[in-house]
Amino acid sequence: MRHEWTSFWHSGVSPHGRDVDMLFGGLLLASALVLGLLFFLLTLFCIRYRVSNAVDRDHRIRKSWHWEVTWTAASLLGFLALFVWGASIYLDIFRTPPDELSVFVVAKQWMWKVQHTGGQSEINALHIPVNRPIRLVMASQDVIHSFFIPALRLKHDVVPGRYQDLEITAERSGHYHLFCAEYCGTEHSGMTGEIVAMEAADYAGWLAQQSPSASLAQEGGALFRELGCSGCHGTGSKVHAPALEGLYGNPVPLSDGSMVTADDKYIRDSILLPRSQIAAGYEPLMPSFEGKVSEDQLLRLVAYIKSIGGHRS
Amino acid sequence: MNEDNYLNAGYSLRSWFFTTDHKRIAILYFASLIVFFLIGGAAATAIRIELVTPQADLVSSDMYNRLFTMHGIIMVWFFLIPSIPNTLGNFIVPLMIGARDLAFPRLNLLSWYLFMLGGGVTLFAIFAGGVDTGWTFYTPFSTLYSNSYVAVAVTGVFIAGFSSILTGLNFIVTIHRLRAPGLTWYRLPLFLWSLYATSVILVLATPVLAMTLVLIVVERVLGVGIFDPKIGGDPLLFQHLFWFYSHPAVYIMILPGMGVINELISCFSRKQVFGYKFVAWASLAIAALGFLVWGHHMFVSGQSLLASLVFSFMSFMVAVPSAIKVFNWTATLHKGSIRFDAPMLYALGFIGLFTIGGLTGLFLACLAYDVHATDTYFVVAHFHYIMVGGMVTAYFGGLHYWWPKITGRLYSEYWARTAAVLIFFGFNLTFFPQFILGAEGMPRRYHVYPPEFQVWNVLSSGGAVILAIAYLMPLVYLGYSLFFGRRAPANPWDAPGLEWQTPSPPPEYNFDTQPVVTRPPYQYSPDFAAEPQNA
Amino acid sequence: MPDVEAFAPQYASIRHRDETAELGMWVFIATEVLLFGGLMLGYIVYRHAYPTAFAAAGRHTDIVIGTANTAILLTSSFLVACAVDAFAAETRKICITLLSGAILLGLIFIVLKGIEYSDEYREHLVPGINFSFEPANADGAQLFFVFYFVATSVHAVHMLVGIGLLAVLARLTYRSPDSRHRAALHSAALYWHFVDVVWIFLFALIYLPGRST
Amino acid sequence: MTRWRPPLPLVAAWLVLLALLATTVTLAYRPLGSFNVVVALAIGTLKAATVAAVFMELRHRGPRTLLFAGAGLFWLGILLWLGTMDFLTRT
C-alpha cells in the first residue's frame, strides 16, 4: 500500500485542506514574529544589561501606560484577525452538506464499517471518487470515536446515540491515512484504516467489481418485512399507521403542533424512541426497537425508507 | 542559622504529623509531591520508551492505556495543581504578608491529610489494576465500557479535590484579612496576586468536578444511566461539566508559576516589575476569563456551531492577559542589572517556553486548525510546553530562590545552573518534535503508530531520557545541601520582600515584632530614592 | 504578643477572628453553590431535551411532603437565626431550646424524606431498581428521577452534617457560651441557612413542574 | 425566665417565607403555560433572598461580604448560561 501523502510538508488534498494549510502558515508566521521579537529583546537585554556591564541605567521608563496599551491592542487585533480567519473556514467545513453521494460509516470498538448505498461494504477502508463531495453519515455502536483523515485536515467525533454528517472531498487520487482520534479503549491505536481516492473510471470499476449481493435499500426492504414494520406501515395493513412512501425529506406535522423534516435523524429516532416525536393524528402505538436493531440494520432501514421516499438516494 | 527555628522546634513524629505550622505543612507537601512526581515521571518514561518503535514491544495495549492514564491523573491532581500553592505558597504567603500563620491553620493540616488520603486511594486503584480511561474519564467509555478501577480512582481524585478547595479558601481569607499594617493591595508582591487568583479558581471550579465525579460513580456503581446515550443521556453533557473544571484547572496550574516568575525576574534584574498594576490585574483577568473558554476542547465533538464560535472567541481573549504578562516581564529586564543565577535561568527559560506554549494554544483556539490538530500530538506538545516548560520550570525556579529561606542552607550554584540548562535542552528535545508529529496528524494516546512517524518519536524519546536524568539532579544536589550546604544568611539575594526580613530558616512565630510596610514592593535599588510606583 | 487565650495568635482581636471566620464560611458557601450548580446544569439540559417527560415525572413526586418539608426547613432556619440572636450567658437556656427545636425539625425533615423515598420505591420510581414508567416518557422520567435522587440525597447528607454541627454546638454553648463558641455557632447557622436556600430551589425544580397541566 | 423575645425582623421574615411558599404552591396549579417555570423560580429567588438578607444577616454586612456571597451566584450563572448555550443552539 503506497502511502503517497505522509510527511508534514505536503499540502492538504481537499479544498478546505489548502485553506487550513494557509491558516497554519499564517499562524506560524504570527507566532514566529512574536517569538522572534521576544527572543531578540530577551537576548539584547540580558547581554546589554548584565550586572558586569557598566551601561547607563537611570531615567528608567516611568509611565508604562502607552507601552501597555500598544502591546495589548496589538495582541487583540492580531487575535481577532486569526479568530475571524479560523472561524470562516470552520463554518465552511461543517456546513450541513446537501444530499450528494451518501456513504454510511459505523464506528464500532476498534473497527470502521463502511456501507456504500449500492450495498458494497468495507472494513477499515473507504473508496471514494476524486473531486466529488461525499456525505458521510456516521454513527457509533458503543463509545465516542473520531473519524480523522489527516490528509484532508478533517476529523469529527462520532458520538453514540445520534448521526453525524461530514462532507469530504479528495482532490488528488491516492491512499490516505484514516485514524480514530478519540480514545476508545484497548485497541484505540489499532482502529486505523485507509481512504482510497480513485479517478471516476477506476471508482466505477471498483464498485462493479465488488458484486454486492443487494443494495442497501433492498436489504433494508427485506429487514422492513422481517422486523414486522410492513405489518403496520405496509400498503395493505388495517392498522392506522403513517404511510412511509414519499416521507423522506418532506416536513412532518407532529402531535404537539411543531413541524420537523423527515431526515435520517428523524427516521432513526422514530425507530428507537417512537414516542418522543409522534406524527399528528396518530396514536403512540409503535413499540420501541431500542436494543433490538443494530446500527447496521438501522442504516439499511433508513436507506430503504429513503428509496421509497421518491427521492434520488 | 539561628537556634530556635521551626525545624528544630521539635523532632517527634507528633510534632510533624500534627503540626499546624504552615512552614511544616509546606515541608510535608514537599515530601509527598516528590514521591508523586517520581511515580508520574516513571510512567512518562515508560511511555516514551514504548513509543521508540512503531509496533508494540515493551507493554501491551491495555498496559499502555493504563500507563498514560496513571501519568495523567498523578501529574494533574497530585503534582501540578498542589505544587506551588501548597509548597511554596504555604511557606511563603504568611511570611510575605507579615503574619504568624494562615487564617485557618487546622484547616491547612486537614488539607494535607485529605491530599494524602486521596493520593492513597488513587495509588491503590492504580497499583491494584490501573485505570484505562485517560485522565479525562470520557463517558460512555468510563461509565459503561471500561472494566478497570475507575470508581476507586475517581473517589481518590474526589477526596483530593477537597484538599484543593480548603487550600484555596485558606489563601483567599488570609490575603484578605491577615495582611501586615500598611500592606495595601498595591503593595502586595505579585506572587500573592497570582496565588489569590489561583485560589479563586480553586474554590469556584473544583466543586463542579466533585459533582461530575459523583455522577460518574453513581452511573458506574448503581448502573443508572445519566450520560448513557441508550436512555437518551448526552455524553457531551459530561464533557461540558468536566471541562468547566478542567480548563480553569490548567490556569490553577500556570498562575502560581507566573507569580514566582515575577519575583525572580524582578529580584535578579534588581528592578521593579514593569507595569505592576497591569500584571496584577492580568492574573485576576486570567482567573475570570478562564471560566468562559472550556468549549475549545469540544470543537469537533458535535457541539453547536454558535457555541464553538463563542468559545473560540473567548479563548483568544483569555490569551491577552498572558501576552500582557510576557511583555511586562521582558520590559522589566530593560535597564536592569541582570545576574544569571540558577533561579534566573529557570525564569528566562519559563518566559521562552511559556510563550511557545501560549502561542500554540492560539493554534488550537483557531477553529479551522483545531479541526485538524485536536486530539493529536500537537495538543500534547502544547500543554506540556505550558505545564512542564512553564509550571515545572517556575516551580524549580521558586524552589531554588526560596531554598535558603526554607532550609537555611545554600545549594551549589554550579550544579544548579547545569541542571537548569540540561532541563531546558532535554525539555525542548522531548516536546518540540511532538509539534511536528501533531501537525502530521499522529493522534494522541496511540500505542502503535504508522512507521513514518518514527523519526520524531525517537527524537522525543531521546529527549525524555535526558529530561528524566536532568530532573533527578536537583534531588541530588539540593539533598546534599540539606546536610553539607553552607549556612544561609537571612537575605542571600538582598531582596526587599518581607519574607527576607526574618532569619533563615524562620522561627516558629515568623516575626519577632509585627513588621510594618511603608513602601511598594520590589524597591531594589536604595540609590534610586523611593522610585514611584509606575502604574 | 497578646495572650493566646481569647483568640489564636494570628488574629489581632476577637472581632477580627469572627469576621475572618465568617468570610471563610461565605467562601465555603460559594463552593457549595457551585457543587449543586453542576447538578442544576444537568437538570436544565435534560429538562430542555425532554420537557413532557419531566412534567409527567414531576407530577409523580409527592407535593404534600415536599411542601411540608419546605415549611419545616424554613421554620428550622428561623429557630437557628433566633438562637444566634439569643446567644448570651443569661439567655443560654433559651438558646439551647431553640437549637434543639431546629435539630428536631431537621430530623423530622429526614424522616419525611425517608417516607417519601419508600413511597417512590413502592411506585417503582427508583432508577436502577425496578424502574417502570409509562413507555412514552420512560427515558426522560428516568433521567428526572436520577437527578431527583442524587440531588435530594446530597442535600440530605448536608442536612445530617448540619444537624451534627448544631448538636455539638448546643452542647458546647450549654457548658460555656464564650466568644469562640459564638463564632462557631454563627458559622454553623450560615451553613444551615444555606442548606435551606438549596432546598428552596430544589423544591421549585422538583415538585412544582407539571402541576398545572 | 429573662424576657427574651424573638426579634421582630426574624419573625416577619419567617412569616413572609411561609406566605411565599403558599403562593408558589397555589400558583403552580394554575395553568400559565411556560410562564409557570418563571414564576416558580422568581418566588424561589425571592425566598432565597429573604433568607440571605435577614437570617444570614447580609443586610448588616459590608461590600466585601456581599461580593463573596454574590461571587458564587455569578459563577453559577456562567456555568448555567454557557453550559446550556450549546444545547439550546444545536441544529
Give the number of other CB atoms < 10 A from CB of residue B432. 16
Residue B223 to residue C35, Cβ atoms within 8 A = no
**3-class DSSP assignment, residue B377:** helix
For residue D2, what pLDDT is reported?
A: 61
**C-alpha distance from B172 to closest chain C C-alpha (Å):** 8
B512 SS3 class: coil
D18 and D54 housed in the same domain: yes
Q: Which residue of D has its CA nearest to B304?
A: D90
Residues 6+ apart with CB under 8 A from C173: C87, C92, C95, C96, C99, C181, C185
Bin A287: left if φ > 0, else alpha if -120 < ψ < 50, else beta.
beta
**SS3 of chain A: helix, strand, coil, percent, to 5:** 40, 20, 40
Complete DSSP assignment for C87-127: -SSTTHHHHHHHHHHHHHHHHHHHHHHHHHHHHHHHTT-ST
Whether residue D78 is contained in a domain is answered as yes
Beta bridge partners of B443: B376
- Residues in CB range of D49: below 8 A, 6 or more apart: none
Structure letter (DSSP) for residue B506: P
pLDDT for B47 equals 95
Of A210, A235, A254, the residue that ends a domain is A210
Q: Identify which of B100, B172, B237 has the shortest CB distance to residue C10.
A: B100
Best residue of D18, D39, D55, D88 to probe chain C, by most C CBs closer than 10 Å: D55
CB B457 within 8 A of CB B512: no
Map chain D to HEC letters.
CCCCCCCHHHHHHHHHHHHHHHHHHHHHCCCCCCHHHHHHHHHHHHHHHHHHHHHCCHHHCCHHHHHHHHHHHHHHHHHHHHHHHHHHCCC
Task: Let me know whether D12 and D40 are in one domain.
Answer: yes
What's the burial of A261, exposed, middle or buried (CB within 10 Å: 0-12/13-18/19+)? exposed
Mean pLDDT of chain B: 92
Q: Are A110 and A205 part of one and the same domain?
A: yes
For residue A105, the cross-strand partners are A114, A138
Q: What is the CA radius of gyration of chain A?
A: 27
pLDDT at C154: 96
- Which residues, in sequence order, are bridge partners of residue A128? A197
A106 — pLDDT class (breaks 50, 70, 90): very high
Domain range holding D49?
A: 7-60
pLDDT (tens digit, 9 = 90+) per residue, D71-89? 999 999 999 999 999 999 9
Q: Which chains touch C (3 or more CB pairs under 8 A)?
A: A, B, D
**Yes or no, beta carbons of B204 and D75 under 8 Å apart:** yes
| Residue A47 in domain | no
Q: Does A192 map to a domain? A: yes
Number of domains in chain A: 2
CA A312, chain centre distance (Å): 22
Q: Percentage of chain D with pLDDT > 90? A: 76
CB contact under 8 A, D69 and C29: yes
Q: Which of residues 53-82 of C touch B (CB under 8 A)?
A: none
The pLDDT score that the predictor gives to residue B208 is: 96
Question: For B101, which of C10, C35, C143 is closest by C-beta distance?
Answer: C10
Q: How far is A160 from chain B (nearest CA, A)?
A: 6
Q: Are residues D22 and D54 in the same domain?
A: yes
Q: Which among D72, D79, D85 has the least Cβ separation from residue B244?
A: D79
Q: Could you give the CA distance from residue B167 to residue B509 in angstroms, rounded to a whole number?
A: 21
CATH architecture of B13-501: Up-down Bundle (1.20)
Instruction: Tell me, yes or no, whether A206 and A256 share the same domain.
Output: no
Alpha-carbon span B500 to A260, nearest angstrom: 71
Q: Tell which residue, D76, C60, A42, has the closest CA to residue B350.
A: A42
Residue (of B137, B287, B269, B266) closest to B214 by Cα position:
B137
Q: What is the pLDDT of residue A312?
A: 41
pTM of the model: 0.92
Look at C63 and D56 and tell me if their CB atoms are within 8 Å: no
Q: Does D10 touch chain C (CB under 8 A)?
A: yes
How close D89 comes to chain B (CA, Å)? 6
How confident is the model at residue C3, as a pLDDT? 39
Residue A230 sits in the same domain as residue A206 = no
pLDDT tens string A264-273: 888 888 887 7
Q: What pLDDT score does B532 carry? A: 47
Of the candidates B37, B11, B43, the residue with the CA atom closest to the CA atom of residue B127: B43
Residue B514, pLDDT score: 87
Q: How many contacts does B have with D, using Cβ atoms within 8 A?
A: 39
How far is Cα B1 from Cα B487, in angstroms, rounded to an integer?
6
Per-residue pLDDT at C5 = 52
- Report whether pLDDT(D20) > 90: yes
Average pLDDT over residues B390-418: 95
Q: For chains A and C, what is the number of CB pairs under 8 angstroms?
A: 9
CA A13/CA A154 separation, integer angstroms: 11
Residue C203 C-alpha cell reads as 423544591
Question: Does residue D1 belong to any structural domain of this protein?
Answer: no
Asked if the Cβ–Cβ distance from D82 to B176 is below 8 Å, we say no
Residues D27 and D69 in one domain: no
Whether D30 and C212 lie within 8 Å, measured CB to CB: yes
Could C201 and D72 be called an inter-chain contact, meaning their C-beta atoms sit closer than 8 Å? no
Residue A57 and residue A53: Cα distance in Å, rounded? 10
Co-location of D67 and D56 in the same domain: no
Out of B324, B356, B436, name the one closest to residue A8 (CB): B436
Rg (alpha carbons) of chain C, rounded to whole number: 21
CATH number of the domain residue A254 falls in: 1.10.760.10
User: In chain D, which residue's Cα lies nearest the Cα of B291?
Assistant: D78
Q: Are residues A170 and A256 in the same domain?
A: no
Residues D54, D11, single domain; the answer is: yes
Q: Which chain C residues have a beta carbon less than 8 Å from that of A273? A: 139
Residue A311: pLDDT band with limits 50, 70, 90: very low
Under the banding of pLDDT at 50, 70 and 90, the label for residue D15 is very high
Interface residue of B327, B341, B370, B524 to substitute, partner A, most A CBs within 10 Å: B327
CB nearest to B208's CB, from C11, C34, C45: C34
pLDDT of residue A4: 44
Choose, out of A49, A108, A178, the residue to mutate when testing the contact with B (most B CBs < 10 Å).
A49
Domain residue spans of chain C? 29-206
Are B379 and B442 within 8 A, CB to CB? no
CA of A270 vs chain C CAs: smallest distance (Å): 12
Q: Rounded CA gap, A269 and A260, in Å? A: 12
Asked if D66 and D43 sit in the same domain, the reply is no
D50 phi, psi to nearest 5 deg: -65, -50
pLDDT confidence of residue A107: 94
pLDDT at A287 over 80: no
Query: Is D2 part of any domain?
Result: no
Give the residue from A210, A225, A251 where a domain finishes. A210
Mutation for testing the A interface, residue in B136, B446, B494 having most A CBs under 10 Å: B446
Residue C14 has a pLDDT of 87
Q: Please indicate, yes or no, whether residues D39 and D15 belong to a single structural domain of this protein.
A: yes
With an 8 Å Cβ cutoff, are A148 and B331 in contact? no
In chain C, which residues have pLDDT < 50? 1-4
Between B71 and B223, where is the model more confident?
Answer: B71
For residues D48 and D86, state if they share a domain: no
DSSP annotation of C11 reads -
Q: In what order do the strands lie in the sheet with A125-129?
A: A125-129, A193-198, A174-180, A145-149, A154-158
A162 interface with C at CB cutoff 8 Å: no
pLDDT-derived band at A310 (thresholds 50, 70, 90) equals low
Nearest Cβ partner of B330 from A41, A188, A190? A41
Which residue on chain C is closest to B200 by alpha carbon?
C27
Q: What is the pLDDT of residue A212?
A: 67
DSSP-assigned states of every residue in B82-112? THHIIIIIHHHHHHHTT-SS-S-HHHHHHHH
**Residues of D whose CB is below 8 A from B310:** 82, 85
What is the CATH code of the structural domain delimited by C29-206? Answer: 1.20.120.80
Closest Cα in chain B, distance from residue A182 (Å): 7
CATH, residue A204: 2.60.40.420
- Averaged pLDDT for residues B184-192: 94
ipTM of the complex: 0.90
Residue of D nearest to B308 (CA): D86
Contact C128 B223 (CB under 8 A): yes
Interface test with B, best of C19, C146, C194 (most B CBs within 10 A): C146
The verdict on residue D46 lying in a domain is yes
**Are C34 and B204 an interchain contact pair (Cβ–Cβ within 8 Å)?**
yes
Q: Which pLDDT does position C131 carry in this prediction?
A: 85
- Asked if D75 and C30 come within 8 Å (Cβ–Cβ), the reply is yes
Number of H helices, E strands in chain C: 6, 0
Work out the mean pLDDT of chain A and round it to a whole number. Answer: 84
Integer Cα distance of B471 and B459 in angstroms: 18
Rg (CA), chain D: 18
Number of alpha helices (DSSP H) and beta strands (DSSP E) in chain B: 17, 2
* A198, containing H or E segment: strand A193-198
Beta-carbon count within 10 A of A69 CB: 11
Residues D21 and D51 in one domain: yes
pLDDT for the residue A97: 65
Q: A204-228: per-residue pLDDT in tens? A: 888 888 766 667 778 888 888 888 8
pLDDT confidence of residue A146: 95
How far, in Å, CA of A294 to CA of A290, rounded? 9
Q: Alpha-carbon distance C114 to B162, whole Å? A: 28
Which 3 state secondary structure label does DSSP give A165?
strand
Structural domain contains residue A10: no
What is the grid cell recorded at B527?
A: 540609590
In the prediction, which pLDDT does C177 show? 80
The angle, 0 to 180 degrees and rounded to 10, between the axes of the packed helices B235-268 and C14-49 is 140
Burial class for C208, CB neighbours closer than 10 Å (0-12, 13-18, 19+): buried
Residue of D nearest to C44 (CA): D84
Per the structure, the count of domains in chain D is 2
- Spell out which residues of chain C touch residue D17, defining contact as CB-CB under 8 Å: 74, 78
Sequence-distant (6+) residues with CB within 8 A of B526 are: none
Within a domain: A115: yes
Residue to substitute from C50, C134, C139, interface A, most A β-carbons within 10 A:
C139
What is the span of the domain harbouring residue A125? 101-210
C-D contacts at Cβ under 8 angstroms: 133
CB contact under 8 A, C146 and B218: yes
Distance CA B127, CA B146 (A): 17
Percent of chain B with pLDDT over 90: 83
User: Which member of C26, C74, C75 has the closest CB to residue D65?
Assistant: C26
How many angstroms separate the CA of residue C152 from the nearest CA in chain D? Answer: 17
Show which of A210, A225, A252 is a domain's final residue. A210
Residue pairs spanning B and C at CB distance below 8 A: 107
Are C143 and B99 an interchain contact pair (Cβ–Cβ within 8 Å)? no
